[in-house]
Amino acid sequence: MVSTDYFRENVSIDRIRSHILALEGERHPLTSPMALEHAADYISNSLRFLGYEMTEHLFWDNGQPFRNIIATHRGLQRPQERVVVLAHYDTVAGSPGADDNASGVAVMLEAARVLAQLSFDRTIHFIGVSLEENESDDDSGSGTRGSLALAKHASENSWAIEGVVVLESVAFAGDSITQTVPPGLPIPVPEIGDFIAVIGNEQSRNLMDGFVLAVERYQTDLPHVVLAVPGNGELLPDSRRSDHAPFWDKGFKAIMLTDTTNFRSPHYHQPTDILATLNLEFAAKVCRAAAGLIMEIARFPG
């Protein structure tokens, strides 16, 4: 039995910082393809060092091969049932992407570390996905290409996914930061950007509730705002702007954890998206709660 202090005592801010430092820098398929490959290698090597079984999901885009990096922690009782944790490792051109999305990758890697020595009934996949960002600013449909390919692969191969947790820009927060909201948002939102947003559709309600319970159970002291959107978020397009949306569209349960990016950060997709602007204590709290949620889902109740 893992104590309620386990994640608070074991999640390391220094390791999260080290991962962000290693990844920080433009990682784009056209303007910095070698850096994109280096990021994939870094994720793969970091997870292999932790003892995970490593594979790659290869997909083609515009005539070029790209890869989603998959680490597997095999379940003992129900290995066919899966929990999927995602973070994209590419950036837009011109941005070092410390928050978007080295922070999400760093939190995923740290969660993988603290969970590596535990046993679970269900299988857990930690996946670094490529090509989340739009290759062309005037093509709003050109993003999430790595997760589109992955969700298609999961659907075609009948993956029994119990939940997908997407870590999307999770380290820009503070009590002096102004929060804005997209038009049409149906819930009240604080004016201070010191919280993590938990975005899901109605089908994913148990994942959202599970995250809230993990915040409380594992004593993370993490402010949070929960938004459940109808359908697959069609009425609120901003709720679909990351790697969870392709999984919604294939009928899987998925949530996104996000600091709300451009609705809070002046550094979104800018050259100023650097480590020095980030709140790593906040990122560590997100990691503790996310790891708690992943553990709870992967341990089949009863």
Rounded to the nearest angstrom, the gap between the alpha carbon of residue 283 and the centroid of all alpha carbons in its chain is 12
CA 198/CA 47 separation, integer angstroms: 26
Residue 195 placed within a domain: yes
Q: What is the model's pLDDT at position 228?
A: 97
CATH code of 96's domain = 3.40.630.10
- 293 lies in some domain: yes
Residue 115 maps to a domain = yes
> Does the residue 32 lie in any domain?
yes
CB atoms within 10 A of CB 231: 11
pLDDT at 302: 44
Looking at residue 179, what DSSP letter applies? P
Per-residue confidence (pLDDT) for residue 138, from 0 to 100: 53
DSSP three-state, residue 207: helix
Give the number of domains in the chain. 1
Residue 174: Cβ within 10 Å count: 14
* Nearest residue to 7 (alpha-carbon basis) of 103, 111, 102: 111
CA distance 105 to 48: 15
Domain-embedded: residue 68: yes
Distance of CA 233 to the CA centre of its chain: 18
Cα distance between residue 169 and residue 198, in whole Å: 12
Length in residues, the chain:
302
Kindly report the number of other CB atoms within 10 A of residue 278's CB atom. Answer: 27
Give the model's pLDDT for residue 140.
Answer: 47
Q: In this structure, is residue 98 part of a structural domain?
A: yes
Whether residue 24 lies inside any domain: the answer is yes
Indicate if the alpha-carbon torsion angle 189, 195, 201, 206 is positive or negative.
negative
Q: Check: CB of residue 86 under 8 Å from CB of residue 147.
A: yes
Identify the pLDDT of residue 135: 55
Exposed e or buried b for every residue in 41-78, given b needs 16+ CB within 10 A? ebbbebbeebebeeeebebebeeeebbbbbbbbebeee
What residues in the chain have per-residue pLDDT under 50? Answer: 140, 302
Half-sphere exposure of residue 159: CA atoms within 13 angstroms, side-chain side: 23
Residue 1 lies in a domain: no
Q: Write the DSSP string, 98-152.
A: IIIIIIHHHHHHHHHHHHTTS--SEEEEEEEE---S-SSTT-TTSS-HHHHHHHH
Distance CA(164)–CA(161), nearest Å, equals 7
Domain range enclosing 203: 6-298
